[in-house]
Structure 1
Amino acid sequence: MGSYAYRYCMCFTRKFRSPDAHPPPDVRAAHAAAGAAHGDDGLRRFLADVQREDPAEADRVLAALAGGGAAGGIARFVGRSPAAALPTLDDFFGFLFSPDLNPPISNKVHQDMSAPISHYYVFTGHNSYLTGNQLNSDSSDVPIIAALQNGVRVIELDMWPNSAKNCVDILHGGTLTAPVEIMRCLKSIKEYAFCASTYPLVITLEDHLTADLQAKVAGMITETFGDLLYVPSSDTLNEFPSPEALMKRIIISTKPPQEFREFLKAQDNQKIGGNTDKLAEEGNLRRIDSNADDSDGKDDPDDEDDEESEEEDPKFQQDTACEYRKLITIHAGKPKGHLKDALKVDPDKVRRLSLSETQLTKATASHGADIIRFTQKNILRIYPKGTRINSSNYDPMKAWTHGAQMVAFNMQGHDKSLRLMQGFFRANGGCGYVKKPDFLLKTGPNGEVFDPKASLPVKKTLKVKVYMGDGWRMDFSKTHFDAFSPPDFYARVGIAGVRADCVMKKTRTIEDQWVPVWDEEFTFPLTVPELALLRVEVQEYDMSEKHDFGGQTCLPVMELKQGIRAVPLHDRKGNRYKSVRLLMRFELI
């Protein structure tokens, strides 16, 4: 082999036979075809014909190769000609196996960002301040910072009076979680709000405060965020602003406070007030009552989140400074009465409604079409049921297929569901906003909408070929998988999506190899490719114990770059390994 194989052999220090890091047959064939057919312009032709890159992206790749850096030793082959002379086979293989030069999805925002926020899925956290479980972990700004660094665009803060009743703490009320001061959270949010994405950051405030503390919070928010804070010009909106219009802005979402008639009269005298009836009803959805039958979304007690289980305690209905109310861009409400009424679309205003995961399941069984119509204009937030005290999560697909924009997740969970969420929001450059499919935004002439329960024909077919993997020798200790021999790796490849599309398949196990070569192809027919995720896992087979984890990733199917790609793998928490990657091929027909 050439320099590529030499570098790999130098990293391989165990006293076993050297790995076979040879280019797979498809790579050899592509290299030969490019050289035979196109001569000095072979690499550019390969990028266009096999990888299906547009000219601008091809130019970027060629420039990166010419500039060295991540390309390392393979930069020399493009220095000979602006047209990019064909590299050697080993250099060509090295380029294809580099996730930085040849990634599986784009890292650029490419979707239309000028539609109302209600037209997008938004990367949403639940109880963002908790460091661990929902019952007795500490509250801190550290998980908030981590969430923002990972691209989360909705941060949730539960506000409670501190022990002295003179300031505000953030904690999970009714539990043993230790508090953190609100100012610490606000300052960290300001510092890290746009470190991973320049698109708007939403702060959902769960308000358990008295009127004087609400006014105090309004002052803290205004002073801390300054010009970053978006303050709507009107008390009500008939359409949400777009992500593009709110670039690098922070917006607030919470339940509007309950002003009394006397307070409004006082404000009217100062020419600041408004319509009493309008303010009294705004943001207040009728609660699902105990007499509602199951078809109207009656919920179980253990499914209730603090926001939704909060009764109309008189202390929350006192006069509140107008400064607090005017900061609210997304008015939130809780369902009261019949769910069908709560889901009615008001042509004159938009709002946010929250349901637990269990409420959603019941609601979709009887009011699926109403939910989709509601989410075409308004925002629906789904949150984990209260029994998930270990910070686990739920399957987000039911919420996504019904148009729910804010599917709130416990970012401490590190389970399969969270990996799906992380993969879903790798779309659109990882900016935290993903445009909903057109079929969820359209209404037919007779009011008909998409039916997630319908039997649908196959729309696209994804072909996935798993060539090989490498990098475990660099990222894991030599005895991590087995103390006495190299690992026995196999890969699992499948689809997470609507029920008809879900499937997992696996390769054969390659024994005693740090660089497994599978060279196996799988075919996945897809009825709703727009919401499908490609799941990839690598396991190390162990006869006597549970199989060892070797890496995973989830990638949005419609974002996959076609052709031969280097796919970086991540750990269970979603952190990308430095070296572990697979060489794969994608074709979407």
Structure 2
Amino acid sequence: MRKQSYRVCFCFQRRFRLTAAEAPADVKSIFDKYSENGVMSADHLRLFLVEVQGEENATVEEAQGLVDGFHELKHLHLFYRRGISLETFFKYLLGDVNAPLDPKIGIHHDMTDPLSHYFIYTSHNTYLTGNQLSSDSSDIPIIRALQGGVRVIELDLWPNSAKNNVYVLHGRTFTTPVELIKCLRSIKEYAFTASEYPVVITLEDHLPANLQALVAKMITQTFGDMLFSPGSELLTEFPSPESLKRRIIISTKPPKEYLEAKKVKVKEGKSEKGHSSAEDDAWKKEVGDFKQNNDYDKADDVDGESVENDEEDEEDLKIQQQTAPEYKNLIAIPAGKGKGRLQDWLRVDPNSVRRLSLSELVLEKAIAQYGTDIVSFTQQNLLRVYPKAIRVASSNYNPLSAWMHGAQMVALNMQGYDKSLWFMHGMFRANGGCGYVKKPDFLLNSGSNREAFNPRAILPVKTTLKVTLYMGEGWYYDFSHTHFDNYSPPDFYAKVGIAGVPADTMKKKTKQIEDNWIPTWDELFEFPLTVPELALLRIEVREYDASGKGKLAGQTCLPVWELRKGIRAVPLYSRKGEKYKCVKLLMRFEFV
């Protein structure tokens, strides 16, 4: 096998540079075990990789490649030609090559199953730069989302009658518009910068037939052969992500279904008002009862986030009576609830597949009444979940409940910067960060002989994750932490927990380390897991303050099912999900 060479990057610092004396006791003990006369050879390093790090296929050649990488830095007088010292070993453990998720394996899930078998990285109102009420609409958030690996982009389409054009904006709010063509061109340019797997564009259509035809022309001219279109054929099964690489997919309600859904809403608006009155009242308190202009107030939100009066609904129905066939032919993933009530929406048609959209509130109701039906529905069809309307500040709901029931498109506000979005980041760090994560088998296999998965069922413990938090470093030299006083070391503490099914969800806290830029906790936590396939490891480091809440000093969220065993360097991120340059935790992960 060809000898491999690795370049290891460390944040070496004039002050606060870590030394061997500061290595945790476990690290010193392990080095003593896997070294001879103070030197760890390539053979010793390979044994460490196999026995401690769980890298069973590690070879001497790979270990020698690591040693050679260290020797490229021999001018720092940390290295021996025969192997590596404790100091070097300690620095290796804190290096980027020793990440908790294996950077070498990349995309490793089977990508040949139907789209319905995957969780898909999904954004809500992707075009907004800030809050849902008054921020600007722009292509910049769309670009940022695509660069971050998001695979489902949402565009709300509204007419600009004065210019016979189409705008993208959040209807019946004060958000400023952006031209649709600008968004489409940016999607084309950036769609596959982070991942080659397909990008789905979900459209909320509030357009008359002539503008539908214009949209169809824009889309076909912009994307050309990149577009996936099944034509007039009705899909009985979704294609696979592998077969759709570098393809753009359009998903919206076909005009016929759009009109039927609006007719149902007109008839049922009053009877359903009792179920949503609390949300409607809260929305009115937040944004008032206003109209933006005549171009934007004629149609309901396609996903049913708001309800206008019956007269406006009837007027919009008249506008939509004539539909553009070329627009309908673009729809590769049809959406719609169909006729009837909630349970009827979840019925599976063996002859066709579709996308169903539910608000977080409707999903809660559906879970309470028809939880197993949702799981069965999502084995063949796509379920999209979106935030309730009163999340004006672009906050988010907890996505885990939707994922536990098989929902593929759990749409969050990318502007939210909250814990829910951290969970989203954690989920889609899996599978090489390609934006598609294969659902566990128990969410895919059910039938007459097997009950659908119930996340609230009492299940036996499958494995116990043991997490040792040794220490943290890098804060002093990461200037993104502008709230720190360089002359007064912080008082750091950490929170470590699991986000998953109710039985697995828990959170624990370390002791507080006072006045130290390099906090050393050396604490062990154990997490018994009944469903490790849906568990996310949550880590937060905070600086203690008098309020008791603590200022965030870094966070991360990691998919438990892809954690590497052993002692690992865990990078931390800001509240906005930006990776810090130097800040890391040294941790150990064991499964027993």
Q: What's the TM-score bracket when you normalise by the shorter of the two chains?
A: 0.7 to 0.9
State which of 496, 501, 505 in structure 2 corresponds to 1:498.
Answer: 501
In the TM superposition, 1:3-42 aligns within 5 A as 8=12, 10-12=14-16, 22-36=22-36, 40-42=42-44
1:215 lines up with 2:213 in the alignment: yes
1:101 lines up with 2:97 in the alignment: yes
Displacement of 1:396 after TM fit?
0.8
Match of 2:438 in 1: 435
Give 3-state SS (helix, strand or coil) of 2:503's partner: helix
Amino acid of the structure 2 residue aligned with 1:205: L
Q: Distance in 2 between matches of 1:355 and 1:316?
A: 25
Q: Distance in 2 between matches of 1:79 and 1:94?
A: 14
Match of 1:175 in 2: 173
Q: Distance in 1 between matches of 2:56 and 2:319?
A: 57
State which of 24, 47, 50 in structure 1 corresponds to 2:49.
Answer: 47
Q: Which runs of 5+ in 1 are unaligned?
A: 260-278
Q: Distance in 1 between matches of 2:429 and 2:86?
A: 31
Give 3-state SS (helix, strand or coil) of 1:235's partner: coil
Displacement of 1:527 after TM fit?
1.3
Amino acid of the structure 2 residue aligned with 1:563: G
Displacement of 1:308 after TM fit?
2.3
Match of 1:330 in 2: 333
Q: Is the 8 A contact 1:254 1:332 kept in 2?
A: yes
Amino acid of the structure 2 residue aligned with 1:31: F
Q: Distance in 2 between matches of 1:291 and 1:59?
A: 72
Displacement of 1:233 after TM fit?
4.5
State which of 525, 531, 535 in structure 2 corresponds to 1:532.
Answer: 535
Q: Distance in 1 between matches of 2:22 and 2:486?
A: 26
Write the deviation string for residues 124-169 of structure 1: whole angstroms up to 9, x where unpaired. 0000000000011100001111111111110000001114151100
Q: Distance in 1 between matches of 2:440 and 2:526?
A: 23
Q: 1:318/1:416 Cα in 2 relative to 1: closer, same or farther (>3 Å)? A: same
Amino acid of the structure 2 residue aligned with 1:156: E
Match of 1:470 in 2: 473
Q: Is the 8 A contact 1:567 1:584 kept in 2?
A: yes
Match of 2:87 in 1: 90
Match of 1:307 in 2: 302
Q: Distance in 1 between matches of 2:60 and 2:279?
A: 54
Q: Distance in 1 between matches of 2:264 and 2:171?
A: 23
Amino acid of the structure 2 residue aligned with 1:95: Y
1:547 lines up with 2:550 in the alignment: yes
Q: Is the 8 A contact 1:460 1:526 kept in 2?
A: yes
In the TM superposition, 1:348-363 aligns within 5 A as 348-363=351-366
Q: Which runs of 5+ in 2 are unaligned?
A: 1-7, 284-299, 308-312
Write the deviation string for residues 308-343 of structure 1: whole angstroms up to 9, x where unpaired. 237573245333332211211110113652111111
Q: 1:27/1:352 Cα in 2 relative to 1: closer, same or farther (>3 Å)? A: same
Q: Distance in 2 between matches of 1:38 and 1:481?
A: 38
Give 3-state SS (helix, strand or coil) of 2:98's partner: coil
Q: 1:74/1:326 Cα in 2 relative to 1: closer, same or farther (>3 Å)? A: farther
In the TM superposition, 1:442-461 aligns within 5 A as 442-446=445-449, 448-461=451-464
In the TM superposition, 1:177-576 aligns within 5 A as 177-258=175-256, 289=268, 299-300=276-277, 302=279, 306-309=301-304, 313-315=316-318, 317-334=320-337, 336-446=339-449, 448-476=451-479, 480-482=483-485, 484-543=487-546, 546-576=549-579
Q: TM-score, normalized by length of structure 2?
A: 0.86
Q: TM-score, normalized by length of structure 1?
A: 0.87
Q: Is the 8 A contact 1:151 1:430 kept in 2?
A: yes
Q: Is the 8 A contact 1:258 1:316 kept in 2?
A: no
Q: Is the 8 A contact 1:11 1:474 kept in 2?
A: no
Q: 1:7/1:142 Cα in 2 relative to 1: closer, same or farther (>3 Å)? A: closer
Write the deviation string for residues 276-335 of structure 1: whole angstroms up to 9, x where unpaired. xxx998x999669458789xx955573798222375732453333322112111101136
Write the deviation string for residues 418-457 of structure 1: whole angstroms up to 9, x where unpaired. 1111111111111111111111111143462111221122
565-574 or 437-446, which moves further after superposition?
437-446
44-53 or 131-140, which moves further after superposition?
44-53
Q: 1:10/1:447 Cα in 2 relative to 1: closer, same or farther (>3 Å)? A: closer
Q: Is the 8 A contact 2:42 2:64 kept in 1?
A: no
Amino acid of the structure 2 residue aligned with 1:396: P
Give 3-state SS (helix, strand or coil) of 1:558's partner: helix
Q: Distance in 1 between matches of 2:76 and 2:113?
A: 42
Q: 1:105/1:72 Cα in 2 relative to 1: closer, same or farther (>3 Å)? A: farther
Q: Is the 8 A contact 2:41 2:84 kept in 1?
A: no
Q: Is the 8 A contact 2:204 2:303 kept in 1?
A: no
Match of 1:267 in 2: none
Q: 1:166/1:285 Cα in 2 relative to 1: closer, same or farther (>3 Å)? A: closer
Q: Is the 8 A contact 1:126 1:383 kept in 2?
A: yes
Q: 1:408/1:73 Cα in 2 relative to 1: closer, same or farther (>3 Å)? A: farther
Q: Is the 8 A contact 2:569 2:587 kept in 1?
A: yes
Match of 2:290 in 1: none
Match of 1:272 in 2: none
Give 3-state SS (helix, strand or coil) of 1:474's partner: coil
Displacement of 1:379 after TM fit?
0.4
Q: Is the 8 A contact 1:124 1:408 kept in 2?
A: yes
Q: 1:343/1:89 Cα in 2 relative to 1: closer, same or farther (>3 Å)? A: same
Q: What's the % identity of the aligned pairs?
A: 59
Write the deviation string for residues 192-225 of structure 1: whole angstroms up to 9, x where unpaired. 1011111110000111111111111111111111
Q: Distance in 2 between matches of 1:143 and 1:58?
A: 46
